Amino acid sequence: MVGLSLVTRQKRSSIVVDPRFVKIAPHHREDNREDNTVRDIARHYARDIRLLQSGNELFAEGEAAEMFFVVLDGWLVQYRILEDGRRQILDFALPGAVLGLSGGAAARYGYSVEAIGTATVAALPTSSLSDILSVEPEFAVALLSSTGAALESAFDSLTDTGRRTAREAVAHFLLRIEQRIRQDGDAAPDGAVEFPLIQEHIGDALGLTAVHVCRTLRKLRSEGLVEVGRGKLRITNRRGLALTAGVFHEQAAKPRLAC
């Protein structure tokens, strides 16, 4: 029923940097206060900052969850691998995302994480969480906000995977991932955004095979709805794509997504 991912990707290694020497260029919109809180506080309390190369593993499912992480830059994937190699991508982590914070009860990570392209994350000891929270009350709100966003994203994926056809799911996926990318500030003059995912990523996120994602994308492309490939994503007909996804809601000026 499902494609195998037999590739051995896990090369564990990351460059650890003293937090004091790291200066991150603000490449995100400054008007987005909410999102920055997490990153700022994370940077401040980080035990260390890690630079991950493409394919490097941040942590693996089952390991002791002694640290949690906040993405400062780049993309990462959260995934689980079944015994026979089937892979389910749970979510993509963009800057501001919190990783490995299962809530405290769980002593082990519930999924694996690896970098797509080069990524930078702040590492914080899980044990220090309640201390930080008592000093930085806003951090709790920020964390809850981040976790809430992650939950929404998981619900979206679940709906795509469970109750949408491949065509609808891919269309919906592209719409929401593009929206997330834009929130982080990136944007090109022609409306294209940076898009480091390959078709296998999309498939593993939506419970489809890469082959079928290929066919689906090809059709969407031929209909003039999107342009994907070469690390770029451009939605050429947002309304049409939303209609295809089955989530079009007319509203004021800017069409809004739902479901």
Partner DNA sequence: CGTGGGATTGATTGCTATCAAGATATGTGG
Partner DNA sequence: CCACATATCTTGATAGCAATCAATCCCACG
Closest by CA position to 182, among listed 173, 170, 172, 191: 191
Query: Is there binding between residue 159 and a copy of itself (CB under 8 A)?
Result: yes
- Shortest distance, position 45 Cβ to a copy of itself, whole Å: 15
Dihedral angle, C-alpha 130, 131, 137, 139, nearest 10 °: -70
Show contacts with DNA in window 59-98 (CB under 7 A): none
Query: Is there binding between residue 198 and DNA (CB under 7 A)?
Result: yes
Query: Is there binding between residue 2 and a copy of itself (CB under 8 A)?
Result: yes
Query: Is there binding between residue 148 and a copy of itself (CB under 8 A)?
Result: yes
Q: Are 217 and 165 within 8 A, CB to CB?
A: no
- Shortest distance, position 67 Cβ to DNA, whole Å: 28
Closest by CA position to 51, among listed 101, 119, 116: 119
* Residue choice 76, 89, 181, 217 for contact with DNA (CB under 7 A): 217
Query: Is there binding between residue 26 and a copy of itself (CB under 8 A)?
Result: no
Query: Is there binding between residue 126 and a copy of itself (CB under 8 A)?
Result: no
The partner in contact with residue 148, picked from DNA, a copy of itself, none with C-beta cut-offs of 5 to 8 angstroms by kind, is a copy of itself
The helix/strand/coil state of 114 is strand
- Bridge partners of 226, per DSSP, are 235
Query: Is there binding between residue 163 and a copy of itself (CB under 8 A)?
Result: yes
Cα 203 versus chain centre, distance: 15
Query: Is there binding between residue 223 and a copy of itself (CB under 8 A)?
Result: no
* Residue choice 22, 24, 60, 214 for contact with DNA (CB under 7 A): 214
What is the rounded distance in angstroms from the CA atom of residue 256 to the CA atom of residue 208?
26
Q: Measuring CA to CA, how many Å separate 61 from each of 46, 80, 136, 168, 174?
A: 22, 7, 29, 30, 27
The partner in contact with residue 62, picked from DNA, a copy of itself, none with C-beta cut-offs of 5 to 8 angstroms by kind, is a copy of itself
- Give me the residues that bind DNA (CB under 7 A), please: 1-3, 7, 165-167, 198-200, 203, 207-212, 214-215, 217-218, 229-230
